[in-house]
Each structure stands twice: as structure tokens, then as C-alpha cells.
Copies of this chain bind each other. A is one copy, B any other.
Amino acid sequence: MWDGGGAGAFQLPEWMIQFADQKQEFNKRPSKIGRRSLSRSISQSSTDSYSSAASYTDSSDDETSPRDKQQKNSKGSSDFCVKNIKQAEFGRREIEIAEQEMPALMALRKRAQGEKPLAGAKIVGCTHITAQTAVLMETLGALGAQCRWAACNIYSTLNEVAAALAESGFPVFAWKGESEDDFWWCIDRCVNVEGWQPNMILDDGGDLTHWIYKKYPNMFKKIKGIVEESVTGVHRLYQLSKAGKLCVPAMNVNDSVTKQKFDNLYCCRESILDGLKRTTDMMFGGKQVVVCGYGEVGKGCCAALKAMGSIVYVTEIDPICALQACMDGFRLVKLNEVIRQVDIVITCTGNKNVVTREHLDRMKNSCIVCNMGHSNTEIDVASLRTPELTWERVRSQVDHVIWPDGKRIVLLAEGRLLNLSCSTVPTFVLSITATTQALALIELYNAPEGRYKQDVYLLPKKMDEYVASLHLPTFDAHLTELTDEQAKYLGLNKNGPFKPNYYRY
């Protein structure tokens, strides 16, 4: 298993899927339609809950399915399906706000005024539909591409943004609260269109790729490449590749340096604080916290909590990460040793059943339990669904689980990802990811024949460096250039790449 080493290491993003788990889950659900047979591979990410904080103007009064509505944008087009086209104006403002924090994409647009590196590209996309995605889509458009888009998650679409995109002419098929049937219908509307055939795929989770693979395998003949963002989708691609069934080049942008270090270390350093505050209003100073796993996510959580005056313990299975925790000033313990005394338990392992019912039984009153690492497997939440325990929903995403003796555990987001459910992801981090996606599309679309085979590729280091360089102006950061003499001395090209592939940063 390629990413098996993930324990304590990666943040397996929210759309991570464990096929075994997922199958069971879907078996329990009644299938709605005949198309059900295809949906057995819908990724868990597609149905993950998503912070309701992201909604703006929705009122729940309109129960009509968007599929049953007749809508037109102001230019008369009906080639889209969104909740309510009238929300376009609000969505446009959100997009404009996002543009201000996505300088790299805006810079790409400027460069594209002369050349159109994606001229002729027909991109079909399946991602979360947010203001940031909209900036990406409109950038792809500015670079010359035609786009059609669906959502990769049935809850994550911002209806206003979808409306704004539809209004400005993008065929978008997505709304918040799609049914599973709606989900596949939307994807199908993107690809199955008269007189238009995609030649590039931008996927997040692999559902779009899977759908084309199952329904329209011939379509791959025209496709020049797939860009995949998620752990899950990448995992599927490697499996296809291993099985000899991958028939186009694919770019794994999940493992780029910028994504790994920024999405995980730096982003979690901020979102752990945000998530805990918004849900519990707790004070960090003096609190005892145990963080399970000292990978990038764990490192970020530990650094933030230590900085805010918490006393942090770490558990690890990997002796190298464990030694890092020691050198960084954290006591390395087994969970059992501190479980009675800690105020907060945070899991960041990518593992399952890290926090068991036995642990939960021994926690002290008011202990907060949350997960920063993996879908919903790290904390054995199922073990808490027993008759003697009382669940009390005290706020959105906050449950008190009450033992017979009155002890309460504060469980956040029912053990799902805290930072997805209870905090927001800074636009700046999304900007890095979106820029990486755009560059990967450009690279695959323009690569000379033969540069990429029918395999899964990592982003060339030089492009990783380029993404980083596009974000430096945000910080008014000034890069030093090598002199000719220095470049020669170091044996480097002045424009990079600057590091060997194994460099750890």
C-alpha cells in the first residue's frame, strides 16, 4: 500500500476513502435508482459532512430540486444546473474577495493575456465548488480553456458561487445537498454533452475519472492527462497503473512539497486553535493536551498549542518522529500513561482506533476529544453508541457524551476532521493547491509527446518551486538570485531546481 506509512505522518484529507469501510456503509443504505450499480465506488469524501459555516444566504424554504427547475442566466444560457441563479451577485462578491488572496492565479491570468497556454483545452472538473475554486476555473478560462464542472462532495457546494459561475457562462452542475443520484447525474451532465468532448480531467477524489472509465471509456482516447488532488484519487490512480489499466498520464499533485508542507504543517498549526475555540471557547493556557501522532499534522498542532501555553504530550509509533518530538520539547508517552490527566485528546495518526472506548472510559470529566487526522476512524466513536451513555448535542458539531456517574466527554464533530467541520481553511492555502492544479494542467496539456507515459507522475520540482515563487509577493518577500559564479560553484541552474529530489525541507 503506497501510502501505508501514513501513520502519524500525512494528514489524510477529508476525502480520504477506505474502500473496505465504504462498502459496508453503502451496503446499509437503500439504493435509490437503477444507476446504483455504478455508485458503489462513490468515494466517502463525496458524502462527508461539510461545515455549514460556509453557507451564506441559503434559506431552507425552497425545496424544489434544481433538476426540476428551469433556469437561465442573463445571457440566456441554460447549460447549467444550480440551486438558484439569482444568488449570483452574492457569489460574485465572494469570488472577488477570494481573488484578493489568490495572487498566484491572478498573476497567471496576467501572463496569459499574451499567450494562452490552455487554448483548445477542454477541461472537465470535479472538485469542491467554493469561491476559491471559482477563481481557479475563471483562471483556466482566462488561459484559454473551456470548462465544465461538477461537485466532488454532495454537501460542499456554495450555491451562491455556483450561481455566479453559471451566470458568467460556466456550465456548472452542482448544489448543496445533492442526493447520491444527483451527484452522478451532475457528473454525467458535465461529460455527456453533444458536440463537446473533454481532453483534460481535473479530479478530486477520483469519482469523475471513475465515471468516465466506467461509462465512456472511449473518451480517454482524446484525453491528454488527469490531474488528481486527493489522497484517495491518487491511490485509485496508482491502483489503476499497477493493474496496467491507466491509459493516460496522470499528475499526482497531492504529494507536491508545497501541498504537503503547507496544507498540513502550517494550515493545521492554525486550524487546530481555530477549531477548538469555535466549538468550545476553551482557554489554551495551562491545559494538558495529548497529541497522537507527530507527522506534519501533529507537528503543526503541537507547535500551536505549545505556543499558546498548553502542556503537550505526544504519542508516536515511529522512532524517528518520536525523537523529533523529544528534541522539540514534548514528552513522548503512551496514551494510557496520560489519559487520566489530560484536558484534550487530539488524534493525527491516519490510523484507526487510536482512541478506544477504554481510553474514553478513563478520561477525566470535561475532556475534549477531537480528530485532526483521518475520516472518522481514529476515535472509536461507534463504541460510544451504547445505552448507558447519554449523548447531548450542546452546539453545532459539539456533543457531550455523559457517563452514568455524570462524567462528560466533549466530542467534537463526532470524531470527523475538526478542521474541515469546525474551522475554515485559509484562502492562502487553497491558493497554493489551486495554482499547483493549474500548472499541472498546463504542463500535461503542453508537454511534448513522450514526456509523460501512461503513468502517475509527481509534479516536477521546478514547478513546485514555481508555485512557491508565485506566492512570495504576498509576503513582500524578495528572493536572492545566484550569480553566475555561484551557480557554477554549486552546479545549479540559476532558475532551479535547487534541490535534489530526496531533499526533506
Contact = CB atoms under 8 A, between A and B. Distances in A.
A196 interface: no
Interface in A305-344: 306-311, 315-335, 337, 341
A380 to B, nearest CB: 11
Nearest to A299: B505
Copies of this chain, complex-wide, total: 4
A33 to B, nearest CB: 32
Given A306-B329, A477-B332, A500-B3, A320 B465 contact: yes
Nearest to A56: B395
Contacts of A501: 502
Nearest to A427: B281
Contacts of A310: 329
B329 A285 contact: yes
A492 B5 contact: yes
A103 to B, nearest CB: 10
A201 to B, nearest CB: 25
Interface of A: 1-9, 18, 93, 97, 100-101, 255, 257-258, 260-262, 266-267, 269-270, 273-274, 277-278, 281-288, 304, 306-311, 315-335, 337, 341, 350-354, 365-366, 377, 394, 408, 423-429, 464-466, 468-469, 471-472, 474-483, 485-486, 489-492, 496-505
Given A317-B480, A318-B498, A331-B477, 6 more contacts: A9-B503, A260-B504, A262-B327, A282-B426, A325-B477, A334-B479
28 contacts: A1-B491, A4-B500, A5-B499, A7-B482, A7-B492, A9-B498, A101-B366, A266-B285, A269-B309, A270-B283, A274-B277, A281-B427, A283-B428, A285-B326, A287-B475, A310-B329, A311-B331, A318-B465, A319-B468, A319-B469, A321-B498, A323-B472, A323-B477, A326-B475, A332-B472, A332-B475, A334-B479, A337-B478
